[in-house]
Amino acid sequence: MILGNLSGSSEFRLLGFSGISPLHPFLFVVLLCLYILTLMANTVIAFIINSDRSLHTPMYFFLTQLSCLDICYLSVIIPTILENLMVGTVSISKTRCAMQMFFFLFFGVAECFLLAAMSLDRYFAICCPLHYTIIISSRVCRGLVFGAYICGTAVGLVHTLITFSSPLCGSAIDHFFCEIQPVLDLLCGSTFPREMQVIVVAVFAILSPFLLILYSYIRIISTILHMASAESQQKAFSTCSSHLLVVTLFYGTAGSMYLRPKSTYCASVDKFLSLSYSVVTPLLNPIIYSLRNKEVKGALKKKWRKSKLVWK
């Protein structure tokens, strides 16, 4: 039944930014530039970390995974937005729409749990420094990343299959990609069970890792405040300030999108929030980590000096 529903010939129409057609060329150029900058910034961060042995630590291993997730996450959405801005309303098959929703959820949920794993890394580094290398081993790091991908796969599969196995009435999606809420609005009959499904998914995928992050940082801040010298406090806080800023950006935008009642939903506001956490945040992540991290800045300068010597 599910496969049959997904493989049908019917299509959806993504309305995108149909209300501001005169601005389409400008938005196309802006988003294309942001997309290229994001790809370049995250690729550079991943390359620098992999090529510099001094950065082969758990924290930077997680950062490499975050950069890869941001690239994939953005690449699920941006091509459809650019297509929408070029041709106006985009027709998309049910199969492609379902795949887009799955990968959107997969990468988004995996990033939620990856940020939680990164907070655990900072917790053990600051609160249990003597046992840090034993607890956060390379095997544990790989296990945490694998667990994040498993959670992303589970949420993406369950939510996508349940949504697209239900009868759908209508074909116009008032969004620029197959976002969860606009697709749910097409369900026939009462949407309450599916709305509860979204809330359950949001609690599991957003709230539970956020609570783990919150607990980790409460313990981290408590440990930092009990350190003897101001220099030690500053050094400890500098190791987690970048991650804390990235968490605030990601959870602030994602939480405002999915952890609010349906009565407050507005299509234009939802599109703006979607752009914030799907386009702006992946661009800011590498900038935050490169500007606020001395080791990354040092590795970048080293590579820059070597490249200049090669070209000479």
How many helices (H) does the chain have, and how many strands (E)? 13, 3
Q: How many CA atoms, within 13 angstroms, populate the side-chain half-sphere of residue 184?
A: 18
Higher per-residue confidence, 26 vs 291: 26
DSSP run (H or E) holding 93: strand 90-93
Give the neighbor-by-neighbor strand order of the sheet with 11-14.
90-93, 11-14, 172-173
Band the pLDDT of 39: cuts 50, 70, 90. very high
Query: Which range has highest mean pLDDT (81-90, 184-193, 253-262)?
Result: 81-90
Joined together, the tokens standing for residue 82 give 């650019």
pLDDT of residue 159: 85
Global model pTM greater than 0.75: yes
User: Given its phi and psi angles, is residue 189 left (phi above 0), alpha (psi -120 to 50 degrees) or beta?
Assistant: left
Cα distances (Å, whole numbers) of residue 223 to 121, 123, 217, 248: 15, 9, 9, 21
Residue 219, judged by CB atoms within 10 A of its CB (0-12, 13-18, 19+), counts as middle
